[in-house]
Amino acid sequence: MSEDRELDDVLDLISDEYARSILAETSVEPMSAKRLSDRCDASLPTIYRRIERLKQHELIEEQTRVDPDGGHHKVFSATLSSVSIELEDGAYEARIERTERAPALDADDTADRLTYMWENL
């Protein structure tokens, strides 16, 4: 995807009230879709549609959390750090910055998880 097309798509996406709310809420702490539905005052289908679009543009990531009772659920965290647009000499320069994402690791790969955490302190 070209940078111009990606920028157009991202600007279109973040012009959406629900997408912005999801990004704002998940920039504070990871949240489940149900909690986002409550916090953003939106239906679950609306939240899931926006989450899918945000994931397509790598503005949000999905993680699986293990519950104390042995179950699990998905939570979402914003990866968008900033969008900037500069106009200089008749040309636009735009940047989309994302936070560094943790590598996908198997749940049993504790050593790799600890190494990643240690290196990113």
Q: Which CATH number applies to 3-119?
A: 1.10.10.10
Confidence check: pLDDT of 50 > 80: yes
What average pLDDT does this structure show over 21-48? 96
Distance between CA atoms of 24 and 60, rounded to whole angstroms?
11
Domain boundaries, the chain: 3-119
Split at pLDDT 50, 70, 90, the class of 23 is very high
* Residue range 73-118, pLDDT digits in tens: 899 999 999 988 899 998 888 888 898 755 444 444 556 656 666 6
Region of 90 on the Ramachandran plot (φ > 0 left; ψ -120 to 50 alpha; else beta): left
